[in-house]
């Protein structure tokens, strides 16, 4: 039978659950120094949605209301990073 997570290394301290990063996030937010804030604010964002309307509430955001046709053309121009649901990622991948 296989070994479960954290088993098989006697004497070695192994985390049995992921670390709680909420305190670190809160401290960074309170200090106004979240490491991704500036990058995400300055980076152009393409928002795929069939329900949102412009103007979008996020800086540097461009609405894609027909993403299945718009994303393949964008991919020819630049590298894209997709943040979203697995369904969205899979659908856009099939679109080209």
Q: What's the confidence (pLDDT) of residue 55? A: 92
32: region left, alpha or beta (phi > 0 left; psi from -120 to 50 alpha) = left
Q: Against a cut of 0.75, is the pTM above it? A: no
Q: Which residue has the higher pLDDT, 77 or 27?
A: 77
Closest CA to 89 of 41, 48, 51: 48
Helix, strand, coil: what percent of the chain each, to 5? 40, 10, 55
Q: Which residue has the higher pLDDT, 16 or 85?
A: 85
């Amino acid at each position: 039978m296989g070994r479960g997570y954290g088993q098989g290394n006697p004497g070695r301290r192994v985390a049995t659950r992921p670390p709680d990063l909420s305190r670190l996030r809160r401290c960074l937010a309170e200090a106004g120094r979240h490491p991704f804030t500036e990058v995400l604010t300055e980076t152009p964002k393409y928002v795929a949605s069939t329900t949102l309307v412009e103007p979008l509430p996020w800086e540097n955001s461009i609405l894609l209301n027909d993403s299945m046709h718009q994303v393949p053309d964008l991919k020819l121009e630049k590298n894209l990073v997709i943040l979203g649901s697995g369904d969205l990622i899979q659908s856009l991948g099939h679109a080209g």
